[in-house]
Amino acid sequence: MLKVFNTLTRRKEVFRPIKDRLVKLYTCGPSVYSQPHLGNFRTYVFEDVVKRFLVFKGYRVRHIMNITDIEDKAVRAGRGSMKGMVRITRMNEGVFMKNARDLNMLPADEYPRATENIAYMVRMVKMLLKREMAYKDEKGNVFFDVSRFPNYGKLSRSRFRHSLDRRVYKDDYYQREAGDFILWKAWRKSDGDVFWDTELGRGRPGWHIECSAMSWRYLGTPFDMHMGGIDNIFAHHENEIAQTRGATGKMPAHYWLHVRHLIIEGKKMSKSLGNFYTVDDIRRMGYGYDVIRAHLLKEHYRRRLNLTFRSLKRTAAEIRRYKSCAKSLGKSRFWEDAPEADKLCRETLSEFNRYLEDDFRVPEAIEIFCTFVCSVQDLIRKRRFGRRNARNVLETLMRMDSVLGL
């Protein structure tokens, strides 16, 4: 029985999808105004393991990951030119896709771009206006009226110190204060030619409505699981719930999972500290993508991952050892089949499954995987290893690796 920690209830809950064997999953994708960094990939790689484990458990997964290619920072990066913005966002989207492949992430079923779903955002905003959950100001901006949504703050358990009697105009990833938040931004001079002419007037969507509209379009409401980084809890996901429930009357998702941050050598990653790394920066230091992937999974997702270069070296050595063991299995001589090997396979798989079922204890699952390789080597040394055993071992390894992707 799979149990997941649901941010909505702050409890581990038994995971039950809406439709028997199908899981609908939405994960907040990259903001492509700049290159995705290593910290972003901690979240994406964990999400990939969740998806792979659901497949391992026999579910079919429909996975949508959006591409945020329009928001304040993207407009600024393009200096108010649509052409400039598209050039930058497409380039960074390409880097993201390449790194996702490098890190062996299974592709999502679709990667909808925000700029290609403006019509759905407009539709949703219109629904909110009609239900009087939103209002237009004198400049043509549309805001969500938080006072009309009594459940506001439930996901983040925020007790708002400031009155909600203010308006939040910016698309701010690190927003801390609440208030009526923006759904539609009327055109301003600084937007240049970045705008859409719609029934809401000339302008562009706010960041939060993008994910509500795209998850609604591609998965419907409600869907099963919504994931993202921990800084999405407030305000992004709080606002998504308000928007989707406000417009459709239904929750967007039943289970909300959030991944904590990655820090480097005990410090927050930032450009000003000079410890800001992309996946390829680490690759250029001589670490393989498999090492990077393994390392990003080395701490439970609800704990902060402190990446140090010493620990990264350790992971590299572990991966080298495991890969050479796996290779030597292929070259092994065979003796008579022994029952211990089959028993080892059975027990390993069941333990592996048990750890992952307990809110995705991936570090322990990796440990099991490595221990298994060593134990098999032991059996070979003792000549307790036959052809059937070898097939069984290989299958066990492949089953586990279908989840870990190493």
Residue (of 332, 330, 391, 404) closest to 362 by Cα position: 404
User: Which SS3 state, helix, strand or coil, does residue 234 take?
Assistant: helix
8 A C-beta contact, residue 130 and residue 112: no
What are the strands, taking DSSP E only, across 290-405?
Answer: 305-307
**Residue 91 — φ and ψ, nearest 5°?**
-65, -45
8 A C-beta contact, residue 211 and residue 183: no
- Alpha-carbon dihedral 403, 347, 365, 387, rounded to 10 degrees: -60
The reply, when asked if residue 139 is annotated as ligand binding, is no
The reply, when asked if residue 271 is annotated as ligand binding, is yes
Rounded to 10 deg, the angle between the 38-56 and 387-404 helix axes is 130
Q: Which residue has the tokens 């759904």?
A: 183
Question: Which residues are within 8 A (CB) of 176 and not within 5 positions of it... i.e. 6 or more apart?
Answer: 234
Give the nearest distance from C-beta 119 to Zn ion in angstroms: 18
Would you tell me which residues interact with Zn ion (CB under 5 A)?
28, 211
Report how far residue 57's alpha carbon sits from residue 154's, in angstroms, rounded to the nearest whole number.
31
Report how far residue 74's alpha carbon sits from residue 91's, in angstroms, rounded to the nearest whole number.
12
Give the nearest distance from C-beta 228 to Zn ion in angstroms: 6
- Tell me whether residue 129 or residue 211 sits nearer to Zn ion (CB atom): 211
Give the nearest distance from C-beta 382 to Zn ion in angstroms: 53
Give the nearest distance from C-beta 226 to Zn ion in angstroms: 8
Report how far residue 36's alpha carbon sits from residue 337's, in angstroms, rounded to the nearest whole number.
49
The reply, when asked if residue 236 is annotated as ligand binding, is yes
- Tell me whether residue 128 or residue 211 sits nearer to Zn ion (CB atom): 211
Give the nearest distance from C-beta 121 to Zn ion in angstroms: 12
Give the nearest distance from C-beta 197 to Zn ion in angstroms: 25
Give the nearest distance from C-beta 83 to Zn ion in angstroms: 26
- Tell me whether residue 153 or residue 206 sits nearer to Zn ion (CB atom): 206
Q: What number of helices (H) and strands (E) belong to the chain?
A: 12, 15
Residue 255 pairs in a beta bridge with 225
The reply, when asked if residue 28 is annotated as ligand binding, is yes
- Tell me whether residue 240 or residue 290 sits nearer to Zn ion (CB atom): 240
The reply, when asked if residue 211 is annotated as ligand binding, is yes
Identify the burial level of 23 via C-beta atoms within 10 angstroms of its C-beta, where 0-12 means exposed, 13-18 middle and 19 or more buried: buried
> H-helix or E-strand containing 197?
strand 196-198
Give the nearest distance from C-beta 229 to Zn ion in angstroms: 10
Report how far residue 227's alpha carbon sits from residue 26's, in angstroms, rounded to the nearest whole number.
6
- Tell me whether residue 28 or residue 54 sits nearer to Zn ion (CB atom): 28
8 A C-beta contact, residue 210 and residue 221: no
What is the distance of C-alpha 397 from the center of its chain?
25
- Tell me whether residue 241 or residue 305 sits nearer to Zn ion (CB atom): 241
Report how far residue 405's alpha carbon sits from residue 402's, in angstroms, rounded to the nearest whole number.
6
- Tell me whether residue 229 or residue 353 sits nearer to Zn ion (CB atom): 229
- Tell me whether residue 4 or residue 211 sits nearer to Zn ion (CB atom): 211
Give binding residues as ranges: 28, 211, 236, 240, 271
Give binding residues for Zn(2+) as ranges: 28, 211, 236, 240
Give binding residues for ATP as ranges: 271
